[in-house]
Structure 1
Amino acid sequence: MKNHYDQPIGNLVHGWVTREMPIKKILEGRYCYLERITPEKHFEDLYEVYGPKSATENWTYLPLDKFEDPADFSAYLETVSRSKDPLHYAIIDKMTQKALGTLALMRISPEQGTIEVGFVIYSDRLKKTRIATEAQYLAASYAIGELGYRRYEWKCDSLNEPSKKSALRLGFVFEGVFRQALIYKGRNRDTAWFSIIDSEWPEVKRRLESWLDPENFTQDGKQKKSLWTC
C-alpha cells in the first residue's frame, strides 16, 4: 500500500476502537481456572510455589527471587493483588482446588491493542501438564478472543531456553532479540520477543483446543498428539 507521495505505508486498520482493560475475576477452563490473586485465599498454596521449598534454579531467569520469609511474601501478595497492570492470576487445579502457579497480563495498551503475558511462575507439579497449557490458552483467549487485543506478547531472557521453547510450542512467533535490554540481578539481559497477532489466533486456538481435548490423552494421561502435530 502506498500514499499519494508513492511511499509505502501500513494497511489501514478499519473500525479500530480502544479496547477494554482486562478486569475479569475468573477465567474458566476444563482442567483449571485462573482466579485473581487474593492474599487470604492463596497465601498458603502460593508460598509453596514462591517460598523456601521452591528449587533455587527455578528463579534464575525471573526478576525476583524466592521468598524466605512468610511476612515478606504476604506483603508481596498484598501488592500484586491490588495491581491492575500487571494483573495477576493464580492458576487453580480444578481437581484439588490448589493454586499451582501464577501468570499475569501486563504492559497493557488498550489504545494500541497490545498486551503481554508475564510473571509465569509454575510449581514443579504444574510444569509440563495439561493445566499449564490450558492456563496459557485461557489468558490468550481472554486477551485476544474476548477483549479483542490485536497483539499478544511473550518476552524472556534470550538465554532462557525452556521459556523460548514454551513460547514456540504455544504458537508464538519469534521476532528477534533486544540486545542489552535490561539489567537484573546484576546481570545483562538480552530479551527475546515473541508474539501472536489476532489474524493468527484462530489457528493457534484450534491447535490448543485440539491438544487439550480429553480424547487426545490416554487413560494414563499421555498425549496422543503433540501441539506441533494437532
Structure 2
Amino acid sequence: MTDLADWRPLIWTPPASMAGRYARLDRLSVDAHAQALHAANPPEASHWAYMPYGPFPDPQVYRLWAEGAAASDDPVFYAIKGPSGWAGVASMMRIDRANGVIEIGNIALSPGLQRTPAATEAIHLMIDCAFAAGFRRVEWKCNAENAPSRRAAGRYGFTFEGVFRQHMVAKGVNRDTAWFAILDGDWPRLRAAHLAWLAPSNFDAQGGQRQSLATLTG
C-alpha cells in the first residue's frame, strides 16, 4: 500500500491556453471559435457517432451548443488550432482535485486535423498540463466499439483497464465503456516518447513520420 500521508487536494484552475510547436488550445469561445469549428467539421451523423453531442446541421445549432460548452466548468472545453486554423475541440473533465484524477474527453477533431502532429500535440499538451499541476491519474474513456479511439489511447501510452458494461445510455443506445489511464509514475517515460515523436527530426521532407508514436511509447 502506497503511503499518501503527504497528499493534499489540488488547488488548480484550468489554464486559459496551451501551446506547442504545432498546436494551440484556447478555452472555447463562441465568438472566437464557433464559426470556424462548424465549418471545419462535417455535418454528417457518422462524424459524430461516438460523441455525446452533434451532429450540427447549421452554424446556429453549433453556436447554441458552443455557448453551453464554453460556460461549463466541468467539462472544460478547449478549441484546438492546427495548421489550417481552429478545427477541433477537446475537454478536461471529471476533475477530481481531492483524489488527483482527471479525464481527457469529448475529443472531436475535423478530418483535416486528424492524424496530424497538431492533433497529437494537442492531446500531449493536455496530459502534460495535468501532470504538471500535480494530478496522479489521467483517464481516457470511450465507447468500447470505438476502435479508432481505443487505438489512439494505446498510441499515447494509456493502459487499458477494462470495459464497464452497460455503463450509460448514449443517444438512445447502450454504451459499454472502455477505460484507460496514465499514472504519474508512467508519465516521465511516456512524455519523453511523445517529445521524441513530436521533434522535427522525426519527420521527413514530405512530413512522414520516421518512428511511430506507438513504437516509442510501446
How high is the TM-score relative to the length of structure 2?
Answer: 0.95
| Alignment correspondent of 1:91 | 80
**What CA deviation, in whole Å up to 9, does each residue of 1:72-124 have, x standing for no partner?**
2212111111111100001112x44x111010000000000000001100000
Contact map agreement 1:89 1:103 (CA 8 A) in 2? yes
Matched, 1:134 2:125: no
- Secondary structure of the residue aligned to 2:64 is helix
> Hey, what's the Cα distance between the residues in 1 that align with 2:28 and 2:111?
20
**What CA deviation, in whole Å up to 9, does each residue of 1:128-174 have, x standing for no partner?**
11011000100001011x21100000000101100000000001000
Superposed CA RMSD: 1.3
Count matched residues.
216
Contact map agreement 1:179 1:190 (CA 8 A) in 2? yes
| Alignment correspondent of 2:68 | 79
Q: Which runs of 5+ in 2 are unaligned?
A: none
Identity %: 38
Q: Which runs of 5+ in 1 are unaligned?
A: 1-9
- Secondary structure of the residue aligned to 2:88 is strand
**What CA deviation, in whole Å up to 9, does each residue of 1:181-216 have, x standing for no partner?**
011122111100000000000011010000000000
- Secondary structure of the residue aligned to 2:139 is strand
- Secondary structure of the residue aligned to 2:215 is coil
Contact map agreement 1:171 1:204 (CA 8 A) in 2? yes
| Alignment correspondent of 2:173 | 187
- Secondary structure of the residue aligned to 2:213 is coil
Amino acid at match of 1:72: V
| Alignment correspondent of 1:125 | 112
Amino acid at match of 1:59: W
How high is the TM-score relative to the length of structure 1?
Answer: 0.90
| Alignment correspondent of 1:171 | 157
| Alignment correspondent of 1:101 | 88
Contact map agreement 2:35 2:63 (CA 8 A) in 1? no
